Amino acid sequence: MNVKRFVGRTSHEALGRLKAALGPDAVVLSTRPCAEGVEILAMGPEAMTRQPNEVMQDVEGDAQTLAMSTLSFQDYVRERMLKRRQDEMRAAQQAPAQPRALPATPRAAADLHSATPGRDLHDRAQAQARVLGAARAPVSSQALSSAPATRAAEPTPVAHAAMLEELRSMKGLIEQRFSALTFLERLQRQPGQARLAQRLLEVGFSPALARKLTELLPQDAPSEERWASAALERNLRAAEQMPAIEDQGGVVALIGSTGVGKTTTTAKLAAAFAARHGASSLGLITLDAYRVGAQEQLRAYGRILGVPVHSAHDRTSLEDLLDLLSDKRLVLIDTAGIAQRDSRTREMLDMLSHPSIQRVLVLSASAQGETLDDVVISWRAANCKGVVLSKLDEAVRLGPALDVLIRHKLPVLGVANGQRVPEDWHRLTAQALVQRALRETARGHWRMDSESVELVFADSATGAGGRIMGQAAAAAEWRA
């Protein structure tokens, strides 16, 4: 018999090499893992049809060949076949982990050595098969002994977690891409939705809000822009839904980032209140100790109105001033302008945490939508009384500011559209604000065409920013 060894990275590859060398009728003797991958011991089909004397002559040679490739077979054949049954039983007791097929080996060896040329070939073949079957047992034992090394090569729990996270990310990316493609296909089938999406993007509304409105657009709407205008008005909280600041009274602190017009807005509110209720019922406090001449600007307005301006540098002095001005109907506090990502923002909010102080956030209508989002979150606009939109005269597009106000459900207490005091202070309705936003037209390179709309929606559906804004827009309680 000519036993051959075939090695491959996988069992399929090793079997392919075996079939190529010995044909499809080859006899597989054993299979085990090895350093190269998988090892298969096999012999050709002609070995089973040879003459009895040739079989007897090749048994010892095959045993030697198997011994060269498998140490377990060497231990088994060279030791177990030469020992008596008593030695084998003693060895089995010393090594109880050996396979149960071991006791069959001495009988198979005895059958082969005691065979004579006159015996039936079939009996000899069966004896040979028992020997070869016993040869497989040590190989399986060795494979079992190498199992811990194989398990050690398996992925660790950390690798499994990373793989699952990657699969989840891939699944989410595929779902977002299909969602974007489905939405774009619907825009191509419905021209009204496509025109509305293009218009909303041109005036500065976010892709998330534009997509929300286009999805809610009724098919029988006579005018998609008129329907969108009405929907925006219903979801924007503006001045007509609440009394004016100058009529409510109390203690009001104007907060916000640098350069948004807090001091000028404070002067406008003070002038509007003095014109209605008199300067004697008004108190002015400034906390702006950072900018050079900031206090002098408010003091100049105070001298014009006949109202003294008080300065506070910490929370204790602020509380003392509030006690001093407790008889005033309205107390306005002008704060220092601090960038939304400055660490002093939290200090300013802690200083204004007095229960009697109502905070009003001043937002610049000319800022980018992403910047306004960041300001609203950093200054905790959700805990504020409302918002004042400043620099309306400088804003090219009002859409980004209205988008932020609608998404965060912030009421607009008033708007400032210039430096004049108090002429440039107004309380606009939701209809006026939305109509002004939709009346604006993009110019030059900022105009939107159908291809640009598809690109914006495809990018917003797959980007991280688009996912966050989409979740915020989906959470909003829209009144379509």
Over the stretch 367-381, which tens digit does the pLDDT of each residue have? 988 999 999 999 999
Claim to verify: residue 306 and residue 331 sit in the same structural domain: yes
Q: By mean pLDDT, which of 128-132, 225-229, 306-310, 443-447 is the weakest?
A: 128-132
Q: HEC string of 304-335? A: HHCCCEEECCCHHHHHHHHHHCCCCCEEEEEC
Note whether residue 197 is domain-resident: yes
Average pLDDT, the chain: 75
Q: What is the mean pLDDT of residues 67-75?
A: 50
CA distance 451 to 217: 21
Residue 3 has pLDDT above 80, yes or no: no
Q: Which of 152, 185, 210 is the last residue of a domain?
A: 152
User: Do 263 and 318 sit in the same domain of this protein?
Assistant: yes
What pLDDT is recorded for position 291? 65
List, for residues 305-315, the tens digit of each pLDDT value: 999 999 998 88
187 band by pLDDT with thresholds 50, 70 and 90: low
**DSSP per-residue string spanning 36-60:** TEEEEEEE-GGGGGS-HHHHHHHHH
pLDDT tens track for 347-405: 889 999 899 999 999 999 999 889 999 999 999 999 999 999 999 989 888 999 999 99
Sorting pLDDT into bands at 50, 70 and 90, what band is 89? low
Residue 138 within any structural domain of the chain: yes
Number of neighbouring beta carbons within 10 Å of residue 298:
24
Higher-confidence residue: 220 or 470?
220
Q: Does residue 269 sit in the same domain as residue 132? A: no
pLDDT at 109 over 60: no
Q: Which of 216-230, 309-323, 462-476 is predicted with the least confidence, judged by mean pLDDT?
A: 462-476
Q: Is residue 230 part of a domain?
A: no
Residue 194 CA, chain-centre distance (Å), reads 29
Q: What percent of the chain has pLDDT over 70?
A: 64
Instruction: Kindly state the DSSP code that residue 290 receives in the 8-state scheme.
Output: S
Q: What pLDDT does 207 receive? A: 84
pLDDT tier at 185, thresholds 50, 70, 90: low
Does 462 fall in a domain?
Answer: yes
Res 318: pLDDT: 92
**One domain for residues 114 and 215:** no
Domain count across the chain: 3
Q: CB within 8 A of 392, min separation 6: which ones?
A: 365, 398, 415, 416, 417
* Bridge pairing between strands 3-8 and 27-34: unpaired
Could you tell me if 328 and 404 lie in one domain?
A: yes
How many angstroms separate the CA atoms of 54 and 389, rounded? 104
Residue 281 covered by a domain: yes
| Same-domain check for residues 205 and 341 | no
In a domain, 396, yes or no: yes
CATH of the domain at 409: 3.40.50.300
- Its sign, for the CA torsion 45, 46, 50, 56, is negative
Query: Token pair 């079989």 is at which residue?
Result: 55
Domain boundary among 90, 117, 152: 152
In whole angstroms, give the CA distance from residue 336 to residue 351.
Answer: 12
**234: in domain:** no
In a shared domain, residues 187 and 284: no
pLDDT confidence band for 103 (50 / 70 / 90): very low
| Shared domain check, 109 and 58 | yes
Confidence label for 184 from pLDDT (cuts 50, 70 and 90):
low
Retrieve residue 78's tokens: 């060279």
Q: For residues 122 and 169, state if they share a domain.
A: no
Domain endpoint, select from 128, 152, 176: 152
Judge if 177 and 137 occupy the same domain.
Answer: no
pLDDT of 62 reads: 53
Q: Which domain holds residue 244?
A: 239-428
Confidence class for position 457, pLDDT limits 50, 70, 90: low
Whether residue 245 is predicted with pLDDT greater than 90 in this model: the reply is: no
Give mean pLDDT, residues 243-272: 90
Domain contains 436: no
What is the Cα–Cα distance from 283 to 330, expressed in whole angstroms?
6
Domain co-membership, 22 together with 126: yes
Is residue 266 located within the same domain as residue 318? yes
DSSP letter (8 states) at residue 156: P
